[in-house]
A and B are shown apart, each in its own frame.
Chain A
Amino acid sequence: MKSKLFSNLALLGIILAAVLALVMGGWSLPVLVVLAATLVGLGARNNNQGLGRAALVGAIGALVVVIGAVIHNTLIVSLPDVDAIPVESTTVVVYAGVIVLGALVAPLVAFFNGHPNDRVRRYSLLGFIAICAVIFPFYEQGTQLLWASAIIVALFYTLQALGLNIVAGYSGMLDLGYVAFFAIGGYTAGLLLSPQLPEVYALRWSFWIVIFIAAALAALFGLLLGAPVIPLRGDYLAIVTLGFGEIVPIVFKNLEAVKIYEPISEMIAYITGNPAIARCLIGCGEKALNITNGTQGVNPIDRPIINLTGIGIPVNYTFQTGEYIPWYFLILIFVAIAAFFIHRLRQSRTGRAFVSQRDNELAANAMGVPLVRTKLTAFMLGAMFSGFAGAFYASYVSFISPDAFDFSISVIVLVMVILGGQASIPGVILGGFVVKLVDLLILDKVQLVFGGLLKATILKNAPDGLALFLSSLFDITQYKLLLFGLALVTMMLVRPQGLIPAGIVKYDTKS
C-alpha cells in the first residue's frame, strides 16, 4: 500500500471529480465530492495517520472540486452558447458545506475499508452504497439534476451486462448477438401488455407476472439457439449469435402480416396451380394477422401497478412516464437481486463448473463437469437476465419497435463487461455505469463546454462556413463509438483485467 499522500485511486478520484465539476457544475457538486471522497477513502489505510491523511486529502479534494465548480459558475457559464446552470446565491454556504462533506466521507470510508474483519469491510461498503443509492434519487429530484433518466438507462444496461457476464465472463463464451434476448423479452412484454393483440390484452396480464414470462421465454430461446451450436467450437458460437442478433429483430419487423396455410394443402395448391385448395390456418381474414406491427412498433405498453388495497394498505399506484423515482427503485431492485443471485451462483457448484470449463475445458471435463450442459445453462441464464431487462424497457418506454434492438446494443453491453472487469460483479456494474453515464451525461456536457470554448475563442472571427465545419469536426458526441473503441483498446493494453478485476473466490474455511 502506498504511503504517499496521494494514492493513485485518490488522485484519480480527485482529478475526475474536478474535471466533472468544471463541466457540470451546479448541484452535481455534492455528488461528485462524495464520489471523490469515497475513492480517497478506499485508497487510504486505516490507521491514525491514514485517517488523518484521508481527511486532509478529502478536504483538499473537495476544495479542488469546489474550485472547478467556481470556475464553472464564473467563467463557463458566461461563455456564449453554453447552456450551463450555475449554483444560486446560497453559493458560499453550499461550497463550504461540500468541503466539510468531502472531509467527512473520506475518513469514514477509510475507516471501514481498513477494518480487519472481511465481513465488516464488505457489508459496510455495501451499506454505504445502498444508502447513497436510496438517497440519490430524492436529491436528484430536489435539485433538478436531470440525471434520473440516464441513470435508469444505465441500470437496465447494467442488468444486461450482469447477464452477459455469466456467458462471457464466467463461461468464456463470446456472444455477439445478446440484443436478441433483449428483443425477445421486450416483445413478449409488449405483446402481453398492449392492445396489439386484443384477445391477449383482454386478459389484462399484470406486469409483475409478464416479466417472468418474458424472462422465461428469453431463456427458452437461449436453449433453442444454444443447443445446436454449443457443442461446436467457440468461434462458431460467436458467428451464430451474431447472426441471431440480427435475425430476431428482423423477424419481429416482418411479423406484421402473418398468413399461415396448412402445409400439405399448400403444397398441392402449388403443384396443381389452384390456390383455392390451400387451407388457411392463421391470418385468413381480409388482412393478414398483424402480430408485431412491424416498424410502427407496439404501443402503448402497460405500466406496472402496485395495488395494495386488497390487503388493506391504501396504495394504488400506476407507474408513469416522467415520474422517475418508482422506475429507478424498480430497476435498482432488479439489479440488486441479479447481483446477489449471480454472486451466490459463482460460489456454487454450478458457478465453479462455469469458470473451470472456461479456464481449461479438457481438465474440467476430466474432473466430471458435463461441458454441453454447463455451457447451455450459462447461456440460458444470460438470456434470462436480458429478457428481464427487455420487459422492463418495454414498459418503461411504453413503446417498442425493431429499430430499438440493433447490434450496437450487443457491442455496448460486451464493452461494459470487458471494460469493467470480466467475471467480476462489481467490475461489471461499474463498467455499466461508466459506459452509459459517459455516453448519456458526460459527453454531452463536455461537448457543451468545449464547444462553447471553441466558439468563444478560435471561431469568434472565423468565416461562417469554416466555423460550422470546425465545430462539427470537433464535436465529441460524433465520436462516441470511436471513443469507446479507443477506451477498449487502451484498457486491453494497459489493464486487461478491467477496472475492478475478478478476485479469488473465498470460502468459509473455519471448521
Chain B
Amino acid sequence: MAETLLAATGVTKRFGGLVAVNNVGFHIEQGMVAGLIGPNGAGKTTFFNMITGVYKPTEGSISFAGENITGMRPDLVQARGISRTFQNIRLFAQLSALENVLVGLHSRLHGTVIEAFMRPPRVIHEERQAVDKSLQILDFVGLGRKVADTAASNLPYGYQRRLEIARALVSDPKLLLLDEPTAGMNPQEKSDLTRLVDQVRHELGVTVLLIEHDMRVVMGISDRVTVLDHGEKIAEGLPNEVQNNPQVIEAYLGQGAAAEGA
C-alpha cells in the first residue's frame, strides 16, 4: 500500500462572492498518476494554484509528505518537491532552453553573489553538474542538446511544452503537476506526450497529477480520475468508472446526452 504523498482536506477558495473551489478533499498516493478533469471553470487550475501556493485556501488544509503546506509561498513549495507546468505556457522567453531548465534548479543550488564573482571550485563544480543535469533532462523529454542554446520563444509549440516539463523535472520533484500538457497538440504529439508522462512515472519515480481535457489521454494514463464541476468534487475512481458516471456525463455534455465514444 503506497503512502499518501499529498492530502487536501476540505479545501475551499472564495474570491469575494464567487466560490471557485468548494470543500474538496483529495489525496494522492506515491507513484500514482492521478487525473483531474472537469468542464472549463470547474476550479481545476485554482486547485493546482492552491497546492503550489499561488493562492491561499480560504478554508481547509493541504499536507505534503506529512508536512502542512497550506498557504506556503510557491518557491518554498517547490523546494519541498512539488513542481508544475502551466496551462498557458510560461517559459522565460528571452532565455535559452538550457537556461530555462537551469532556473528550475535554483532551489537546489547554493551559489551566492560573491561566489558568482570569485568562482571558487565548489561553485564551478556545482554549475557544471547543473548544466549536465539540465542537458540530461532535455534529452529525457526528447529535446536534446541541439535546442539548448535556442531562445525559448523561438521554439515550436510542442517543444515549448516539453521544455516546461523539463524545467519542472530537473529539480527531482516528488510530485509533478501538469496543467493541460497536451493542449493544442495533434494526436501524434499527444501520444508522444502520454508516453513521456508514463516514462516520468516509471523511470523517474515521480508522482504525477494532471489536468486534462482530452479524455483519451487522461483515461489512458491515469490510475485514478477525479472530476470537479463548479468547484465541487462530483466523482472519483478508476477511469472507466468515472467515464460511465451519469453525473460526469451530464456535467460535460448537459442533461440527456450520451457520452461520446472514448
Contact = CB atoms under 8 A, between A and B. Distances in A.
Interface residues of A, number: 35
B92 A359 contact: yes
Where chain A touches its partner, the secondary structure class is helix
Contacts of A377: 113
Nearest to A348: B116
Interface residues of B, number: 50
Interface stretch (B15-23, B104-112, B246-254): B104-112
Contacts of A502: 94
Contact of B75 (A341, A348, A368, A508): A368
B252 to A, nearest CB: 29
A461 to B, nearest CB: 59
A369 B75 contact: yes
Given A363-B92, A377-B113, A509-B131, A356 B78 contact: no
A509 B92 contact: no
Interface string A352-367: 1101100110111111
Q: Which of B95, B111, B112, B171 has the most CB of A within 10 A?
A: B95
A345 B106 contact: no
A367 B78 contact: yes
Contacts of B151: 504
Contact of A344 (B99, B105, B109, B117): B117
B116 A366 contact: no
B93 interface: yes
A355 B98 contact: no
A2 B103 CA distance: 37
A368 B107 contact: yes
A359 B105 CA distance: 17
A345 B110 CA distance: 14
B106 A352 contact: yes
Contacts of A368: 75, 78-79, 104-108, 171
Nearest to A364: B103
A349 B95 contact: no
Contact of B102 (A344, A352, A360): A352
A509 B116 contact: no
Given A349-B116, A367-B104, A355 B94 contact: yes
Nearest to A511: B132
A367 B108 CA distance: 11
Given A350-B113, A368-B75, A504-B96, A360 B127 contact: no
Given A341-B117, A370-B75, 12 more contacts: A345-B116, A349-B106, A352-B102, A356-B92, A359-B92, A363-B92, A366-B78, A367-B103, A367-B106, A368-B105, A502-B94, A504-B95
21 contacts: A349-B105, A349-B106, A350-B113, A350-B116, A355-B95, A355-B99, A362-B54, A365-B74, A366-B83, A367-B75, A367-B78, A367-B106, A367-B167, A367-B168, A370-B73, A371-B75, A377-B113, A381-B113, A504-B151, A508-B128, A511-B132
